[in-house]
Amino acid sequence: MKNPFRCFNSSPEVIRLTVMMYIRYRLSLRQVEDLLLERGVDICHETARFWWNRFGPMFAAEIRKRRVQHHSYSNWRWHLDELFVRINGETHCLWRAVDHEGEVVEVFATKRRDRRAALQFLKRAMKRYGQPSAIEEQLARATALP
């Protein structure tokens, strides 16, 4: 596997610190720039934005991968959302399963809202992630995606 940091003059630790400060603490890019300047790292806020766009998804994937390796999906609680959305002028039912940490487990859109569609969604999610310890349901009536 190629090193993703090979073309950059800064060390991988500085890049990781910059991206994590921006994401974890909800700072602005200029605040991250100021904090790094206090630590002796002189970068521009545009450099921090570029690193966030380039390495943010990679770091997020690593975090998710480690989280999944240490936990079993079957021990988690799921929260099921049912949302009505409008797609190309037609009303669809959007089902979502969200775990107790707020990560979206599965998403399923169907034209009909019936028992068969709900069971199909649950079977697909449980086949992929295992059976959760508890399931909570909420019905949300809203329209999105005009």
Q: Which of 37-41, 61-65, 86-90, 108-112 shows the lowest per-residue confidence on average (mean pLDDT)?
A: 61-65
Q: What's the CA dihedral at 76, 60, 140, 107 to 10 degrees?
A: -80
Residues 61, 77, single domain; the answer is no
Report the Cα 134 to chain-centroid distance in Å. 22
In the chain, the number of structural domains is 2
Unique residue bearing structure tokens 């508890």: 134
Residues 24, 37, single domain; the answer is yes
pLDDT surpasses 60 at 143: no
Task: Pick the last residue of a domain from 39, 70, 101.
Answer: 70
Task: Please check whether residue 93 lies inside any domain of the structure.
Answer: yes
Residue 63 confidence class, pLDDT cut points 50, 70, 90: confident
Task: Please check whether residue 50 lies inside any domain of the structure.
Answer: yes
Task: Please check whether residue 2 lies inside any domain of the structure.
Answer: no
Residues 95, 136, single domain; the answer is yes
Residues 41, 77, single domain; the answer is no
Task: Please check whether residue 1 lies inside any domain of the structure.
Answer: no
Instruction: Reduce the DSSP state of residue 142 to 3 states and report it.
Output: coil
